[in-house]
Structure 1
Amino acid sequence: MSTIISFPETLRNWPYPRKESQYYREHNTQTDMINRLGLLNEENIKQLIRCSLPLLCSLTYSSLGEEGYSVCLDYINLGFIIDEVTDSMKEWEAAAIGALVSDAVRNPEKPRPEGEHAIGELARLFGQRLAHSGSKACTERFCRPGASWDEYCMSMSEEARDREDHRVRSVEEYMRLRIRTVGVFPTLDLLLFDLEIPQDVLDHPMMNRLRLLVVKIMCFENDLYSYQREVATGEPMHNIVDLLVQIDGMHVQDAIDYVAGKVTDHMAEYLELSKVRFWDDRALDAQMRTYIDGMANWVTGYQCWSFEGQRYFGKDADRVRKERKVMLTNERKTVICW
């Protein structure tokens, strides 16, 4: 049995157009270090390339300088490798990976132990570049204990425990976990790569709300566009659309429309709050505008990449971008990009 679903157009009233980094063409390779460390087999390397991660970096970090763009591409590669490595792990295994990548980024001058999983070295190399090239505001925020990077690393084991226990969370419980497993909070910290904004301004309740809105939008958008792939591969789902169907009894299209409605609601709130000048130092105006616009651009860039790369829709991506329709089928099959 097959079902055709449609994705609502959520960017219609979003005033941030698609923008590509000027450094994309110069830095559009991604696998040299991954190959050297032996992190993926040949087939998974091909799948990684088809995911077009340099395009994702270009569309979401378009305001950064060349070094910032390159370091952020390293981070995006690291995040995708973490997902790939931990996706089928048991809780204790995922917890160990989370602990070692957290430590490697925070202590990049410390050699990794012999026999450790090679992802530790990949994380260390990213942490080293971040420490040497990033602004003080960026590195302090990213690496401080208990920061969003740590939250992301710790969340891997919680998701693995849910898989082991076949736990089905309520929508509210799911979202409390999802805002950490999606890994967007750390990506927003990297927008500070070329900026020096005081931590007390970044920790202002208004800024916390703006960040949370973007993270929730990204959670919803990710779950919308990955749903077909997860159905097709028969993977255990970590997806709000599936929860709305299984727990709340919604039809799939109704669930998709509901999630898309949440996206547009959060977008509207973001646009209103982003007009408020809540900092006192006028010397920060330009940097704050760059940061706030950069977070908004992540929303645009991620959606554009979702329909331009092959991670979610494979070779049908261009057709899906134009028609915004896909077919769900109970037939199990392998699709591109994990």
Structure 2
Amino acid sequence: MTTICLPPTMASWPLSRQINPYYEPVAEESAEWFRSFAAFSPDAQKAFDRCKFGLLAALSYPTLNREHYRAACDLMNLFFVFDEYTDTVDEVEARRLADISMDALRNPEKPRPAGECLIGEVTRQFWSHAIKNASPTSRRRFEAAWDRFTTSVVDQARDRTNACSGHIRTVEEQFAIRRYTIGAEPCYALAELPIDLPDDVWSNPVIDTLRKDITDIIFLDNDLASYNKEQAADDDLHNIITIAMHEKQLDLDGALSWLAAEHKTRVDRVLETWKQVEKLEFSPDVNTAVAFYIDHLLNWPRANDCWNFESGRYFGRDGLRVQRERVVELLPKRAKS
């Protein structure tokens, strides 16, 4: 039996696990809302439910009020239905679905056309509810972030076509696109719903550096957790572990060590940048908004790591054991039909 030893990437992260107090009732409300769209077959819906996307929202937004936390739950459901619907399509179809979602986001009061893919109505309902309690800056920032995310998914669809001809992205190229396909930017923007963060503050170089490194930490941990399932399904050409093995001529253990080193570099940098952020001074109201925003940014790596193991998405019912022991059996390649 071949096993994978997952490096303890979050061992030195100073923030502990938190969870939103509205988790159970609101996550179920959102789940019932999403089930009403009948997006999947009954079996696929059960598998979707086991992923506990409301838990991801609860871990990621532990201090949001009930209304904003509900918007976070709805966003997680939208993220993953968009991911499922675009995961295997070509660039043209991915672009069509991205355009549908963006049109619904920009026009939340406009009824969706008859016969349109349900992504349009899921997006419309999510956003029409969320903006009832959103600051103007958060609304504008979320719409821009969602546009970048959906466009990156189209780029990824183009990559799938190129991969069929033998093209694999470089590590640098993968970092560039994964920072958007991971969906972190819209998640950060959603944390801004209750606050008004001025553009010059949001784009402050220190805060921007912090945000980018946290995004890298999230996607490195996500690729670490998803690798085993993806390699078994021959769907790992967008996983940074496979890309590092290919580019750097590493075996799996070497690639895991490389990922751990890249992760540590960013953790160390975040902890230093955090100190710089604490020295920034704005007006009293802006200082309060910045503190709220930074708390949510810094909470994301721990939230993401916990969800990787507490949900059933990557390790099934074995997640807590894997989280504790860091050892998982390498799954055999699935037989191709």
Secondary structure, counterpart of 1:326 in structure 2: strand
How far the C-alpha of 1:129 sits from its partner, in A, is: 1.4
Contact 2:236-2:242 within 8 A present in 1 as well:
no
Aligned length: 330
Contact 1:18-1:301 within 8 A present in 2 as well:
yes
Q: Does 1:162 align with 2:159?
A: yes
1:70 is matched with 70
How far the C-alpha of 1:234 sits from its partner, in A, is: 2.5
2:42 is matched with 42
Q: Distance in 2 between matches of 1:263 and 1:135?
A: 34
Contact 2:179-2:215 within 8 A present in 1 as well:
yes
1:119 is matched with 119
Q: Does 1:18 align with 2:20?
A: no
- For structure 1, the 5+ residue unaligned runs are none
- Aligned counterpart in structure 1 of residue 149 of structure 2, from 152, 157, 166: 152
Output aligned runs, 1:278-289, within 5 Å: 278-289=280-291
In terms of fraction of residues, the more helix-rich structure is 2
Q: Which moved more, 1:260-269 or 1:308-317?
A: 260-269
Contact 1:23-1:66 within 8 A present in 2 as well:
yes
Secondary structure, counterpart of 1:31 in structure 2: helix
How far the C-alpha of 1:41 sits from its partner, in A, is: 1.1
Contact 2:309-2:322 within 8 A present in 1 as well:
yes
How far the C-alpha of 1:236 sits from its partner, in A, is: 4.8
Identity of aligned residues (%): 33
Secondary structure, counterpart of 1:169 in structure 2: coil
Q: Deviations over 1:53-82 (max 9, x none)?
A: 111111001121111100010001000111
Contact 2:95-2:154 within 8 A present in 1 as well:
yes
Secondary structure, counterpart of 2:9 in structure 1: coil
Q: Deviations over 1:88-134 (max 9, x none)?
A: 10110001111111121121011111221011000001110122112
Q: Distance in 2 between matches of 1:134 and 1:253?
A: 46
RMSD of the TM alignment (CA)?
Answer: 1.6
2:195 is matched with 195
TM-score under structure 2 length normalisation: 0.94
Q: Deviations over 1:117-161 (max 9, x none)?
A: 011000001110122112223112112xxx221110111111111
How far the C-alpha of 1:246 sits from its partner, in A, is: 2.1
Contact 1:6-1:326 within 8 A present in 2 as well:
yes
Secondary structure, counterpart of 1:194 in structure 2: coil
Q: Distance in 2 between matches of 1:205 and 1:136?
A: 23
Contact 1:107-1:127 within 8 A present in 2 as well:
no
Contact 1:38-1:118 within 8 A present in 2 as well:
no
Secondary structure, counterpart of 1:225 in structure 2: helix
Q: Which moved more, 1:220-229 or 1:9-18?
A: 9-18
In structure 1, what residue type is equivalent to 2:35?
N
Secondary structure, counterpart of 1:193 in structure 2: coil
